Structure 1
């Protein structure tokens, strides 16, 4: 799936993109406003979709003077599932946070990065995750850690249909990579979405390297 285009999970048509715009905020939109958001779509195509959705009752149409405005009908029976689809990205991040919270102190930090974080996913995109392990493992800890990584990758695929690509660092390895100015870590600092630990801790580990450079 494409987390940035959640409605494509059920429909590849323009209808889904238009519904995503209307569901993004509880306000009215004109055709031109929708077109500015869906930059590659024609105004005529958007108008036809809105007309069809008005006929279904999912969208409410108002006219003030010569201006036509449209908004999602929050009382429609379909409004709840439409809103749920529009929130798939935040639902995914919430599930990740909840799952990783169960890892306890073993996990120092985790973030989603790459196209899933920047809103540029394609249908076959991987979902990239960075994990920083808190400390050296106790006896048998490596096996438990690997099992958790395997399960995490499985869950990401089951939740989204996309492969999970997990990059892991032990905490000392992470500090060494940060000191060396590892580009991947800079990308995570700029665009990553934190799902475990705190962004302030992550950023603080990169500052010494930034001052040296």
Structure 2
């Protein structure tokens, strides 16, 4: 999956990137504004050609605004639901992970997305990085626990197309990381995205005792 622009995972090229911008807002945008919101630069003329094509297919609506034209995604178009789903691939992936985690016989204290994918920077060749916090009363060699983690990792890889890498700590080990001022804690506080269980704020702002 292309985490910065999920639409591009299925609709490659500038068409997917432009649709991704329009799907994220209800506000009418000029072609130049659409070009400015793309994560990677594209020429205004290239963006304009894509917008003209999308308008001709009815997927995008255009209305005059002085010398400019304002563009919005046509939410009445039969393609809109599919476009909306593609624009929300990252959120749908995290929701699948959350739903599976809720079925675990041995619950996790927390599951977070972290590193480049949490920052929305990971491409199709990036790992999907999950940090899982285990309760202190669960042994890291517990067969039930290991099977859950391995199954989730395998499923997340299938769901996203990205290799899922799991980093696992017990609740006490997380507190030790906090006590020692480990760099990972700073990165998690800044970037980690909660998926299931306790949030990074709840866990990482807790004073180690």
1:142 Cα deviation from its structure 2 partner:
1.1
Show structure 1 runs of 5+ residues with no match: none
Aligned ranges for residues 2-151 of structure 1 at < 5 Å? Answer: 2-38=2-38, 39-103=40-104, 106-137=107-138, 142-151=142-151
Computed over aligned residues only, the root mean square deviation of the Cα atoms, in angstroms, reads: 1.8
Secondary structure at the residue paired with 2:109? Answer: strand
Deviation string for 1:140-165 (max 9, x for gaps)?
Answer: 96111111111011111110011111
Taking structure 2 as the reference length, what is the TM-score of the superposition? Answer: 0.92
User: Structure 1 121/183 Cα, relative in aligned 2: closer, same or farther at 3 Å?
Assistant: same
Taking structure 1 as the reference length, what is the TM-score of the superposition? Answer: 0.91
- The separation in 2 between residues aligned to 1:124 and 1:113, in whole angstroms, is 16
1:104 Cα deviation from its structure 2 partner:
6.2
1:15 Cα deviation from its structure 2 partner:
0.3
- The separation in 2 between residues aligned to 1:101 and 1:141, in whole angstroms, is 21
Aligned length: 207
Contact 1:100 1:196 in 2 (8 A): yes
Secondary structure at the residue paired with 1:57? Answer: coil
Show structure 2 runs of 5+ residues with no match: none
> For residue 203 of structure 2, what is the aligned residue in structure 1?
202
Contact 1:106 1:135 in 2 (8 A): no
Aligned ranges for residues 140-179 of structure 1 at < 5 Å? Answer: 142-179=142-179
Q: Say which structure is richer in helix.
A: 1
